[in-house]
Amino acid sequence: MERAVIHLNIADFAVAVETNRSPSLRGRPLIIAPQGSPRAVVYDMSDQAYQEGIRKGMPLTLANRLNRNIPILAPGFNRYEQAMKGLLKESFAFTPLVEYGSSDGHLFLDVTSSGRLFGPSADVAFRLKKTFKSAFNLDPIWSVATSKLVAKVATRLVKPLGEYIVAPGDEEAFLAPLPLHLIPGLTTADLNRLREFNLFSVSEARRLTLEQLKIPFLQKAPLIYDWIRGMDPSPVRAFSETASTLSADHEFSDDTNHAGILRKTLYLMIEQICKRLREKNLHSSGTKLILSYSDGLQSASTAKLSPSTSNDTALFKKCALLLDKAWTRRVRIRHMRLICEKLCPPMVQADLFSPETKETKQAALIRAMDRIRNRFGHAAVQTGLTLTGDTTSS
Amino acid sequence: MEDPGACRLYTGTSGYSYGEWIDSGFYPDGTHSSNMLDCYIKVFQAVELNYTWYQMPKAPAMERMCEKVPEHFKFSAKLTRTLTHEIQKNLWQKEVLAFRHGMEPLIRAGKLLCILIQLPPYFERSADFRHYLAALLDELSGLPLAVEFRHDSWVNDKVFSELERRRITLVNVDEPDLPGLFPRLCAVTNPDLFYIRFHGRNAGGWRSGSMQKQFDYDYADQELKEWAERVKTELMLEAAAGGIFFNNHVRGQAPKNALRLMDLLLKKDGGKTPWNAPSFI
């Protein structure tokens, strides 16, 4: 039996979250973008602003020139993340197979196996839509199809409001008349290449055989061949709600590309996570750093921690390298997220008569700092690194 | 009409694409969702389209559906929720136009049994709702219509007379005997078509908010026998055609009960209905 995949998409997610906080902005043009940054670009905009010609990724200076009267709000990544958490919680009530974007209002649910419990997939999608609306005042577009690709095309088709059910077996016919730019996975370069061949719609592109597609697209050809036929076997990646991760976030009040401030912030986040790890008597075996830039783009980097650790200094040593690896752009950074994953109990049994090493000294120092902080507060004792610069969070 | 043999019956279920019908044995093992309609049409002569309640029907999809079914097969399409449950004052007329457009292929192909207007339980016989219903029926005029009430305030001679005047079918519902619900009737308001919907009598699950509980009911043979008798002696005598649909889809009970009722109508009282039983009446 084919899969039943639901796609829920809250159009202009950031705008929807912000207008829930300030209802007076609803129904009006609105831009979400960082201010005070010379190279800031539009992170999100309302449909009304879109009608005015504002686009995502457009330099804010240009957006201002197009219409100076549109209000601009600074993005609140933490708020978007919180809103996503709420949506996820409701979604998990129907299936553990929920895949979601990073605070972008997109959710995929695989409800193939939960039909016996919750009924037809269209009904589940409809119930979730109603729940999102009543509990969070967020009104998603929804679609039901047999794959993520077809479900995503369906929601793109009805954006900004509506629903679409693509019946199993109807995928090819559904996609046939659509323009190629609606197919997820096709990049601007791919579309330009197809345009060079005068191919604008899915049905036109289908006339090419796989061999013909291989000439311009090489290894990507088989993928494109399948996509335009509605074939997408990629699974809805399960996310375990109880996944063993700990995370810390920091949003800079002023976007920054000051290395000192970034390193200091990173260290503070590490202190925060490691303290929680030590309280739970856990170690982390993996870590991930996600940087969100002023323009809304993100970059990430991951590393294994071997041996696993809950030591601030050891983790910082790894994460400082991660920061260098993830920080690939000159654009200022708005938000930083550190995730420690694969949590496990400390594996090594301490030796009875272990010699004093640098590591044991560090561990003892951190234990002493923990005791002082527990008694007198976090600011009672600080490392030198965290004393420089300003990391005021918003 | 006095000869029940002159009445053409269209029996089926509310929806046909249910994975659990494979487990129950109605669809063969390994049946893909895309092949379920092919299997379904070998057994039944009609189906209620539920998905048109969730989303506005799209003409191309309807056209493709028409091509998959034999000539005698009929569809009953539920009116979209934006016209029954989520009515927007200034927009609903536009929605009717969109719905009519979506139905066009079915009408053209002569495969539309009727449009099923299923009204919500809170749709009482108040002045506002009466006016809306009258306006809605006007906008949908020219289409074969069947109205299903879920509130007992509509049990009224004036309502039935008006439906008769408009030649609109009143849906006879079989649902739990709960206060406020539309009662089990056996009425014909349109000589062209009578209509019965079997929702099951699961009183405990009816207001649970879960379709899997609400429509989880297996009709007893005696209950179906009583209905078969009423269909033959009352409904079939008064209408040229009849639509009989089972909505108790959970665990494949709907097709099982539908086939049993068909057997009873054909007077095949003994034995259990095989899934591939010949069904044409």
In chain B, what residues touch A117 (CB-CB under 8 Å)?
Answer: 212
In a domain, A392, yes or no: no
Whether A345 and A273 share a structural domain: yes
Whether A260 and A126 share a structural domain: no
Q: Which of A182, A209, A237 lies at the terminal end of a domain, its last residue?
A: A237
Q: How far apart are the first and last CA of chain B?
A: 17
Task: Find, in chain B, the residue whose alpha carbon is nearest to that of A169.
Answer: B34
In chain B, what residues touch A167 (CB-CB under 8 Å)?
Answer: 17, 33-34, 51, 61, 65
CATH number for position A230: 1.10.150.20
Whether A220 and A251 share a structural domain: no
Asked if B32 and A169 come within 8 Å (Cβ–Cβ), the reply is yes
Whether A305 and A340 share a structural domain: yes
In chain A, what residues touch B50 (CB-CB under 8 Å)?
Answer: 120, 122
Whether A210 and A258 share a structural domain: no
Distance from CA of A345 to the nearest CA of B (A): 42
In a domain, A394, yes or no: no
Whether A196 and A252 share a structural domain: no
State pTM to two decimals: 0.77
Distance from CA of B6 to the nearest CA of A (A): 36
Whether A141 and A277 share a structural domain: no
Asked if A120 and B17 come within 8 Å (Cβ–Cβ), the reply is yes
Asked if A122 and B50 come within 8 Å (Cβ–Cβ), the reply is yes
Partner residue opposite B34 with nearest CB, options A117, A118, A168: A168
Instruction: Provide the pLDDT for residue A217.
Output: 93
In order of A19, A33, A44, the CA distances from A79 in angstroms are: 12, 15, 14
Q: How many domains does chain B have?
A: 1
In chain B, what residues touch A1 (CB-CB under 8 Å)?
Answer: 19, 22, 30-33
Whether A33 and A18 share a structural domain: yes
In a domain, A289, yes or no: yes
In chain B, what residues touch A126 (CB-CB under 8 Å)?
Answer: 54
CATH number for position A161: 3.30.70.270
Whether A207 and A270 share a structural domain: no
Domain hosting A190: range is 169-237
- Chain A residues whose C-beta is within 8 A of a chain B C-beta are 1-2, 4, 112, 115-120, 122-123, 125-126, 146, 162-165, 167-170, 173-174, 177
In chain A, what residues touch B19 (CB-CB under 8 Å)?
Answer: 1, 4, 112, 115-116
Contacts by A56-65, CB closer than 8 A, 24 or more apart: A56/A296, A57/A295, A57/A296, A60/A31, A60/A33, A60/A34, A60/A35, A63/A31, A63/A33
Dump the DSSP string for B77-95: EEPPGGGTTS--TTTHHHH
Tokens of A53: 């010609």
Q: How many domains does chain A have?
A: 3
Q: Which of A237, A261, A287 lies at the terminal end of a domain, its last residue?
A: A237
Half-sphere exposure of A175 (CA within 13 A, CB side): 29
Mutate which: A1, A94, A118, A129, vs B, most B CBs within 10 A: A1
Half-sphere exposure of A2 (CA within 13 A, CB side): 26
Partner residue opposite A119 with nearest CB, options B30, B61, B212: B212
Tokens of B119: 């009204």
CATH number for position A259: 3.30.1490.100
Handedness of CA A36, A42, A45, A51 (dihedral sign): positive
- Chain B residues whose C-beta is within 8 A of a chain A C-beta are 15, 17-20, 22-23, 30-36, 50-51, 54-55, 60-61, 64-65, 210-212
Interface A-B, measured as beta-carbon pairs within 8 A, has a size of 70
pLDDT in tens, B185-204: 999 999 999 999 999 999 99
Residue B229 to residue B186: CA distance in whole angstroms: 11
Residue A213 to residue A229: CA distance in whole angstroms: 14
Residue A88 to residue A142: CA distance in whole angstroms: 15
Residue B157 to residue B113: CA distance in whole angstroms: 25
Neighbours of A270 (CB within 10 A): 24
Distance from CA of A1 to the nearest CA of B (A): 4
In a domain, B272, yes or no: no
Whether A175 and A154 share a structural domain: no
Asked if A169 and B31 come within 8 Å (Cβ–Cβ), the reply is no
Partner residue opposite A126 with nearest CB, options B15, B54, B61: B54
Half-sphere exposure of A320 (CA within 13 A, CB side): 13
In a domain, B259, yes or no: yes
Mutate which: B23, B54, B78, vs A, most A CBs within 10 A: B54
Nearest Cα to Cα of residue A265 among A251, A283, A285: A251
Domain hosting B17: range is 4-266
Residue A185 to residue B202: CA distance in whole angstroms: 47
In a domain, A338, yes or no: yes
Handedness of CA A127, A132, A137, A139 (dihedral sign): negative
In chain A, what residues touch B82 (CB-CB under 8 Å)?
Answer: none
Asked if A1 and B19 come within 8 Å (Cβ–Cβ), the reply is yes
Partner residue opposite A120 with nearest CB, options B18, B55, B65: B18
In chain A, what residues touch B254 (CB-CB under 8 Å)?
Answer: none
Backbone φ and ψ for B86, nearest 5 degrees, come out as -125, 60
pLDDT in tens, B210-221: 888 899 999 999
* Three-class secondary structure of residue A184 per DSSP: coil
Asked if B34 and A117 come within 8 Å (Cβ–Cβ), the reply is no
Asked if A1 and B210 come within 8 Å (Cβ–Cβ), the reply is no
Residue B248 to residue B20: CA distance in whole angstroms: 12
Distance from CA of B234 to the nearest CA of A (A): 35
Instruction: Provide the pLDDT for residue A122.
Output: 94
Whether A209 and A120 share a structural domain: no
pLDDT in tens, A361-376: 888 888 899 889 888 8
Q: For chain A, 394 residues long, give each residue's pLDDT as a single digit of tens.
A: 689 999 999 999 999 999 999 999 888 999 998 776 667 788 899 999 999 999 988 888 899 899 889 999 988 888 888 899 899 999 999 999 999 876 788 999 999 988 888 989 999 999 999 999 999 999 999 999 999 999 999 999 988 888 999 999 899 999 999 999 999 999 999 999 999 999 999 999 999 999 999 999 998 999 999 999 999 999 887 765 445 688 888 888 888 888 999 999 999 999 999 998 888 888 888 899 999 887 777 888 888 888 888 889 889 999 999 999 989 888 888 889 999 988 887 765 556 666 677 878 888 888 899 889 888 888 888 888 777 654 444 3
In a domain, A187, yes or no: yes
- Which residues pair with residue B76 across a beta bridge? B48, B114
In order of A185, A342, B19, B54, the CA distances from B252 in angstroms are: 39, 44, 9, 22
Asked if A112 and B19 come within 8 Å (Cβ–Cβ), the reply is yes
Q: What ipTM was predicted for this assembly?
A: 0.85
Whether A91 and A213 share a structural domain: no
CATH number for position B110: 3.20.20.410
